[in-house]
A and B are shown apart, each in its own frame.
Chain A
């Protein structure tokens, strides 16, 4: 029997889990590449050249996306479980966070 479960809360759960697993796989690899700076600098340079390719840049975007999704998913979970807010309070908090993000993001783009 198939089960209908696709609703925003369930999707948020899946996104948080999948991004968490992907980051758990990425982190050891990340630290290993960083360690090359001490052990094999020429291999690190070769890897950095490889990382300049557009396709790898695109993959880096995916990585940042996973990080952002996981951070905000985690904040959402902690707020949900630790702050017994009413629904309007939660909406206001999410709205305030969104506005803060847009303003600081605009500032950041101007600085860069």
Chain B
């Protein structure tokens, strides 16, 4: 290994709220190293005041998402070698969310919108009722199942230019959740969801730029889910007019 390859030049966003700037650190390069390893090394050995968030380290919890070279990623599942650009890498906090400090963002707006889009499940039967039979091969069940692997990491929300331009917009994750519940036979009032997602910040704001689908680390497809909501709200509108 040459001397140049022994260290990485890592730019990390430092600051609270809207004020801040990138600070550069020299980090020892390893053969196997994730971006989360790099951030942890900086906190352990270079600057203990660096603030960031993580939990599981294996791509299950969705708490370590950050902007890596301008692209939102799970840092625990991003190998340094994959994103290194001339020995350099830039790590910032997730876009479109208020920065608490350094690499940690306030996720409240993200989850508030998740609830506003009708994302809380309301069962259609109580525990006293018999369990309704659901055919796993049923079309609407398959549509619902397509979105249930979302772990709310906010990568799609940070990738979305429509969210950046319109802070009222519910965003891809919340709308995909709404589409999942809309197709779930065990959800109580499915027409409520269409009302919740067709308002001012609703699904019709989506310009189908597709960054949510392209960048989703779980290979989910929020863009098509939002298209489904657009379709169903339009159908509902036409039915009412008849």
Contacts and interface: CB of A to CB of B under 8 A. Distances in A.
A92 interface: no
B70 A13 contact: no
Interface in A66-81: 77, 80-81
Given A84-B228, A84-B231, A3 B70 contact: yes
Given A80-B227, A81-B227, A84-B228, A3 B95 contact: yes
Nearest to B164: A3
Nearest to A79: B227
Nearest to B230: A81
A9 B214 contact: yes
A81 B233 CA distance: 12
Interface string A80-105: 11101000000000000000000000
Nearest to A85: B224
A4 interface: yes
- Give the contact-size bracket for chain B: 20 to 34
Interface residues of A, number: 15
A104 B108 CA distance: 55
Interface in A1-30: 1-5, 7, 9-10, 12-13
Contacts of B69: 4
Nearest to B221: A87
B241 interface: no
A10 B227 contact: no
Most chain B beta-carbon neighbours within 10 Å: one of A3, A12, A77: A3
Interface stretch (B42-50, B186-194, B205-213): B205-213
Contact of A13 (B71, B210, B224): B210
Contacts of A80: 208, 224, 227
A7 B208 contact: no
A82 B227 CA distance: 7
A9 B70 contact: no
A9 B231 contact: no
B92 A1 contact: yes
Contact of A4 (B70, B209, B228): B70
B208 A13 contact: yes
Contacts of A9: 208-211, 213-214, 223
Nearest to A13: B209
B153 to A, nearest CB: 17
Nearest to B93: A1
Contacts of A12: 210
B71 A81 contact: no
Given A7-B210, A9-B213, A84 B227 contact: yes
Contacts of B159: 5
14 contacts: A1-B92, A2-B90, A3-B71, A4-B70, A7-B210, A7-B211, A9-B210, A9-B211, A9-B223, A10-B210, A12-B210, A77-B208, A81-B230, A84-B228
Interface of B: 13, 67, 69-71, 90, 92, 95, 159, 161, 207-211, 213-214, 223-224, 227-228, 230-231
Given A4-B71, A9-B213, A9-B214, 5 more contacts: A1-B92, A5-B209, A9-B223, A10-B214, A81-B227
Those 7 A-B pairs whose CB atoms lie nearest each other, nearest first: A9-B210, A4-B70, A4-B71, A81-B227, A13-B209, A3-B70, A2-B70
